[in-house]
Structures are given as C-alpha cells and as structure tokens.
Chains A and B, each alone.
Chain A
C-alpha cells in the first residue's frame, strides 16, 4: 500500500485533542509528524500525557490512554526552545519541514521568537497553521478555551437539552474532535495551494468559528427571518429540530439504562409502526398534525410501550418494517458486541514502547489505493530524539549527548 502523504513533514507543536487529532490523521496517511515537547516541563503542557485511562494500572507521563490514542505513529522529540541551541535546532527543523502546526493559546509561538514572520524568514514557503479557541484576531483573542468552552460559546451546548432542564451539552469535547478535523483540512488545503502556486501561508483557525458553522440553518433562520432560538428550558433536542417528525425521540427499554432512538418521518412509517404496536391508543395519533401537536402525550405512550422490550430486538424488528430506529449503544456494545465497527476495521492495535499493545480509534474511511495505517503507539517523552537529530539534522552521538547534558533536549 502506498502512502498518500509520504514526503510531507510536519513540525508539530500540537497537543491534547484539538491539535493532536489533526496530525493523527496526517501521520496515519504517511506524513512524517515530529511532535516537539518541552523537556523542562516533561511535556506536561499536554495534560493527556499522564492522564487516565491507564492500561492495567501503569501510571505516568508515558502512559496516558488518551495521549496514546491521539498521537499514533508520530515521532516525539524534546526541545527546550528557551535556550539558544534549542532555537537553532528548531530553526534547522523548520527549514526541512512543510508545515508548522500548533494549538497553544494565541501568541505563544511568537513569544518564543517563532511567529509567522520569523517562520517565513526561516523558510519562505512554510505553512503555519495555528488553532486556538477564539483565533489570533478579534476582541477575545487573548481568552482561553477548551472543548466545552468552545461548545458553550458557539451555541452547541445550548442546543443539546431536554425541556425544563438546564442545558445537557455534549458529554465530551465534540469541538476538540471537530476542531482537529478542521485543522487537518486547513493543513491539507494549504498543502494543495502550495502544490499549485508554491506559496505558503498562515491559517488562523478558531475552533469557535468552526463551531458556529455547525448550526447553519438556525443562523440563517435568525439572520433572515429574525427567528430567535427557542428559550432555554424549552429545547428538546431529541425531537426533530425543523422537519415534521413524530414520534422522534429516545425512549426507555428494559434493563439498566437501556434506550432506543426512533424517528417516524411520514404517515407511511407511522402506519407501519402503529400496526406493529397493535394497540388501540395508536388510533388517537393517526393524524400527523395531531401527532405533532401532542408529542408529549405521544411520547408517554411510546415510552410505556418500549419499556417492556429489549432495545436490540425491538430495534431489529422496527428496522424490518422499515422505520428508522437504533438502540443507544454503550461503548462496549458498539466496540465489541455489535460487529459493524470491528468488520470495518475501526479499532487497530498499535504497539506502544511502554504500554505494549493497545487498541485505538482508527479512521472511519477506507481509501482503495492509499488506505491509512496505524502501527506505532504515541511516542514516549523524547523517544525519537536520537533518530530525528541524527537522521534529519545530521548530529553525531557526542553532540546529542551534550545536548541532553545541557538540558537542550
């Protein structure tokens, strides 16, 4: 199998998920991603480095389960860019890189002496992609974020809720994932532009901008029609946002914390469902307008019906009608019990130098000519210092030992 991105070298300061998630994609397609970490703080800027989950109780800065998940197949070096020698080595590395990527707070790289104008002076056609919550321009550019803050500010938290409750939001950093996707897109778009024109550029990516684009129809409804978002406390995001669909929700099934999602899109699907339920109360809801106006009563009836059934058998039966339905799958179910993800090859096992074999998130795509590969786990701190400094920068063993002794690496 050929690699789509072989020959692309990334000088990578990213971390956590919003940044590391982006370069994970690139390394899976064969780019050489060189992750640079601070030896003084032992790479702790990326809090995932030493954070749970741990495999078999192995704890420490080389054992973070999330860190391993997000940094597969990357090379890892340490470099103290506060030192003159550290700056020189970084300069040499930038000279042979296509991309410099980072997701620090705005201005950090510039403070180190590696803002875009300096990067450009080192390498005229360098691509610099910065990714921070509010971007490098605008009134909030100095403000700090992480995924949940991006989601809160951009409207995504607000629009995930049940009525008469505070917002439920997203129980994970949806915008660290998606911010990473936009960062990967930005890097590849800039690489394409460079192939076309020879030009580099600085991409100022703000996760909050990207997040706002994910509520497009609601924003147009506001800007064109003046329609406000429903008041807090009235949002029921398990219901259909705009299209007329009822029932449309997540309903209780038998067992502990088991649920089924069900959407009825039209009269034909309702008739099929009603016939399957085979109870007299369904006749009250035969009219679509009535169903839409009385969704609370309808949901109560549906819940009383679904709660007697196993979520998987009920979902299978409903899909045969056919109407759109799915159990709300738990992690174990979607990873190890329902075969779809395994069949797709979604959970590759990588070999980590300290943790051993670990399964990680693969990629949800297959490319017929240049598919992705994941083999190596995340780098331990400074694991590839020798490889990168000798192979790419031409240093000999003595010089590398001196750098270590002087605290440069």
Chain B
C-alpha cells in the first residue's frame, strides 16, 4: 500500500510547485491539479514529443505532472469558488504558489478554509515567504538561484568567467523538497493531534540553506568561499579534482589514495597498464603500499616522505586517466577502493547498466495514444509502500466531470 494512499492533495497549477505535487502523487496521494480554463502555461513548455509543439506534447508537463488528475476551475467566478471550497472540505493538503494576496482577495485564505476543514494542511510556496512583498516580483529559476546563493559557489578558477547556474530547475526542486518534507511532518502531527496547519515555504531561503559551507563558513567565522573549477568552493584554493580521460570525457578524481592498501592497488594497476616506468614517482607508491599503520594526514605538506607519497598518488591517477577511457578509469579506481566518478551526461547516466538493474527505467502507458514511454523512476525504494507512477499527466480538464461527480 502506497504511503500516501487515501490522501487528497489539491494543487493550484504553477511550474514552481509541480514537482512537489509529483512527489506526493507518486507516493500514492490523489493529487488533483486545478488549472484555469486556458490551462497552465507549462503545458506548452519544451521539450515536445517528436519535437513538435501542440496540445499534450510537452514532455516538461508530462514529467512534472505524473500521478495527478486534472480539472479546470475558474477561481475568479463564484461557481469555481464554490467547487473549490467543496474540494477543500474533503482535502488533506492544499499546495499552492499564488501571489501572496490572491487567495485572500478571493475569500479563500487559510483562515477561511481552516474553518471549513480544520484538518487541512495548506502549503504556500513563494520566492521569499508569504509575508515578504518581494515574493510578488517576477522570478525565474535563474534569478531565484542568484538570490539564494548557489551560483556564487559554482563556476571556474578564472573569475573573469561568470558564476554558473546548473540546469534542471533546481531552484524549484529544492523548494519542492522542503514543501514535501513539511507536508510529511504536518501529516505525522495530524495523525496524532487531528490538527492541520499553514506552512510557509520560502524558495530563496531553501536555497540559502542548500549551499553547504558557503553559508556556514560565513556564519561560523566570517570567511567567504570562492568558486573553483569542478570542485568545492573554498576559502583557500584546493587541488584540482577534474581530469580529461583518453576518450575526451571528464572524471572527478574524488578522494585520492589515503590508505596503504589503496596505494598497493593503484601501483598494481599501474603495472598492469605497463605505466610504472612512465611515472618517476612510482617508488613512493611502493613506500605508501608498505607503510605501517595509518598515515598522519596532518603531516602532508610538512613531512617530506608523506608529502611525496600523497603527491605520487595524485600523479599516478593523472597518468592513468590520460591512458584509459573515463568508464575504465571509474571501474579501475573503484575496484582499488577509490571514490571517483565519470562525468556522465544525463543521457549517459540514464543508460548506465547500474540504474537499469535498479529498475530506474519505468514504463508508463499512455493509453490515449496506445503507446508506452520510458520515464525516470523512483528516488527511493520503499518496498512496503512503493513509489509508483499511477497515471500519465492529465489532459486539460480531463477529470473535471469525474471529480465533480465525486463531490455530489
């Protein structure tokens, strides 16, 4: 039985919160997506099926609206408001990202709704929180990220290049993670108390606490991290961790060897590749392999031998990387116990046998076209209460009659 089965979520369509609704729907909640008669703009976001725009062809909309039913309601009209209130009376969660004053102007604010349904959990996701007028200014994923902190830490050693924002709507995702965590917290409380509540999620605050040491280095001692190519931003420059392999693809070299067994395996691999003679420092790998007891890592930089051994470890990794392709580097290093990874494109990641073996490719039937498509799968595996895409994204108003009939 899905963990959220039996729960009804009312989602007022908005691109910023669609992912939170998906997280709920895929765990079994009955999510009812409410759109205006004209439909949510994200129905026309690329990419499109067969690269052709048109009705029900947005793969963006398909992805973010799985496991939802769709209805249209005109919340500006009395009839629409009446139906909305009927829906709220039987709902567990209201998920919305409306302008901060809108629901109040419509007479549909939390105080009113909670009178009708004290068990309601109302989640409002806004750029700066519900009490901040800045939340009503226009935003995109990019401008939210800039305001919330991530790009400051991302980019290149060369600071003439601008900071970088990663793709994929991650500002929206981060806020949606917190919206969902809040919903679950409130549901657990409601199960013991019977009480609903109002939840105010700030998107930029969510990003502010998702920047690792950029925030806490400032909070703890007033230091500022600076961006570096392909690795953690830091208050002092650190060694490179990204390398290009023989096939042109990049790898992240992660944590270099630290234990004697790792030096031994690395040396062994170097010999198998017939590269030992090409690495003058190989003798230090040998010393590392035969070291008695753990290394005192604090002596790197001051003790000549330990410094030479650790430097030889990095040099050996560099040499191997230029000699093998990225996937071979990944497998070889991991078999030696080193945490490294190939820098896959999303496509390469999706096609990797590991994720296929874990069941990440999920088949979703689109019975309307008689076809079945492969979707990305579960973020977590709960065997007793499984994640599941229960239906494809709804067409505009597809379930209006069905849902209204349930109300009467």
Q: Decide if A168 touches B156 in the complex (CB within 8 Å).
A: yes
Please give me the residue from chain B that is nearest to A346 by CB atom. Answer: B205
Is A189 within 8 A of B27, CB to CB? yes
Is A334 engaged at the interface, CB distance under 8 Å to the other chain? yes
Cα A369 to Cα B46 in complex, Å, equals 40
Nearest chain B CB to A329's CB is how many angstroms away?
6
What's the nearest-Cβ distance from chain B to residue A331, in Å? 4
- Chain A CB within 8 A of B295 CB: no
Q: Is B139 an interface residue (CB 8 A)?
A: yes
Whole-angstrom CA separation of A243 from B59 in the bound complex: 12
Q: Indicate whether B105 reaches chain A with its CB closer than 8 angstroms.
A: no
What's the A-B contact tally at a CB cutoff of 8 Å?
523
Mark out the residues of chain B between 317 and 352 whose CB falls within 8 Å of any chain A CB in the assembled complex. Answer: 334, 337-350, 352
A235 → chain B closest CB, angstroms: 8
Instruction: Provide the bound-state CA to CA distance between A263 and B231, in Å.
Output: 27
A171 adjacent to B184 (CB under 8 Å):
no
The verdict on B98 contacting chain A, using a C-beta distance below 8 Å, is no
**Shortest distance between the CB of A38 and any CB in chain B (Å):** 14
**Which A residues, 139 to 186, have Cβ-Cβ distances below 8 Å to chain B?**
139-140, 142-146, 148-150, 152-162, 165-174, 176-178, 181-182, 184-186
Are B346 and A158 in contact, with the CB atoms below 8 A? yes
Chain A 354-380 interface mask (CB, 8 Å, partner B; 1/0): 000011111111111110000000000
B residues within 8 A CB of A237?
164-167
CA distance in complex: A263, B62 (Å): 24
Interface pair A365/B182, CB less than 8 Å apart: yes
B165–A261 CB distance below 8 A: yes
Does A282 make an interface contact (CB < 8 A)? no
Q: Is the CB of B204 within 8 A of A340?
A: yes
Q: Which of chain A's residues have a CB closer than 8 A to the CB of B230?
A: 157, 166-169
- Tell me if A94 is interfacial: C-beta within 8 Å of chain B: no
Q: Which A residues are CB-close (under 8 A) to B215?
A: 331, 335, 361
Q: Are A205 and B334 in contact (CB under 8 A)?
A: no
Asked whether B69 is an interface residue with its Cβ less than 8 Å from the other chain, the reply is no
B221–A144 contact, CB under 8 A? no
Q: Can you name the residue of chain A whose Cβ is closest to the Cβ of B358? A: A138
User: CB distance A158 to B162 under 8 Å?
Assistant: no
- Quick check: is B357 within 8 A (CB to CB) of the other chain? yes
With a cutoff of 8 Å between Cβ atoms, the chain B residues found around residue A205 in the complex are 380-381
Among B174, B199, B212, find the residue whose CB has the most chain A CB atoms closer than 10 A: B212
Bound state CA distance, A208 and B350, in angstroms?
A: 11
Stretch in A82-90, A106-114, A245-253, A395-403 with 4+ CB within 8 Å of B: A245-253
Do A192 and B162 form a contact, CB below 8 Å, given A217-B47, A222-B350, A340-B128? Answer: no
Contact B345 A158 (CB under 8 A): yes
A289 to B373 alpha-carbon distance, docked (Å): 32
Identify which of residues 162-213 in chain B touch chain A, using a CB-to-CB cut-off of 8 Å.
162-168, 170, 173-175, 177-182, 184-189, 191-193, 195-206, 208-213
The answer for the CA separation of A172 and B225 in the assembled complex, in Å, is 10
Let me know if B47 and A221 touch, CB within 8 A. yes
Residue numbers in B under 8 Å from A325 (CB-CB): 143
Say whether B168 contacts A159, CB under 8 Å. Answer: yes
CB closest residue in chain A, given B346: A155
Task: Identify the closest chain B residue to A158 (Cβ).
Answer: B345
Query: How many angstroms between the C-alpha atoms of A249 and B374 in the bound complex?
Result: 32
- Give A173 to B347 CA distance when docked, in angstroms: 21
Q: Are B378 and A209 in contact (CB-based, < 8 A)? A: yes
Residues of chain A with a CB closer than 8 A to B38's CB: none
The listed residue with most A CB atoms (<10 A of its CB), out of B45, B164, B374, is B164
A65 in contact with B144 (CB, 8 Å): no
Instruction: Kindly state whether residue A388 has any CB partner on chain B within 8 Å.
Output: no
Chain B residue with the shortest CB-CB distance to A327: B146
Report which of A155, A206, A213, A319 forms a contact with B345, defined as CB distance below 8 A: A155
Contact A162 B343 (CB under 8 A): no
- Taken residue by residue from 307 to 347, chain A's Cβ proximity to chain B (1 for < 8 Å, 0 otherwise) reads as 00000000000010011111111111011100011011011
Check if A216 sits within 8 Å of B64, measured CB to CB. Answer: yes
CB of B264 within 8 Å of the partner chain: no
Contact of A153 among B155, B164, B337, B349 (CB under 8 A): B349
Of A171, A196, A330, A346, the residue contacting B228 (CB under 8 A) is A171
A208 to B339, CA, bound (A): 14
Output the nearest chain B residue to A256 by Cβ-Cβ distance. B159
Q: What is the minimal beta-carbon distance from A201 to any residue of chain B, in angstroms?
A: 4
Q: Does B108 contact A (CB under 8 A)?
A: no
> Which of B83-91, B244-252, B279-287 makes up part of the contact surface?
B244-252
Q: Inside 8 A of B3's CB, which chain A residues have their CB?
A: 189-190, 192-193, 196
Q: Does B255 contact A (CB under 8 A)?
A: yes
Q: Are A162 and B161 in contact (CB under 8 A)?
A: yes
**Nearest-CB distance from A354 to chain B (Å)?**
13
A196 to B60, CA, bound (A): 34
Q: Is B33 an interface residue (CB 8 A)?
A: no
A274 within 8 A of B: no
**Do the beta carbons of A172 and B214 come within 8 Å of each other?**
yes
Chain A residues in 8 Å Cβ range of B151: 250, 259, 261, 328
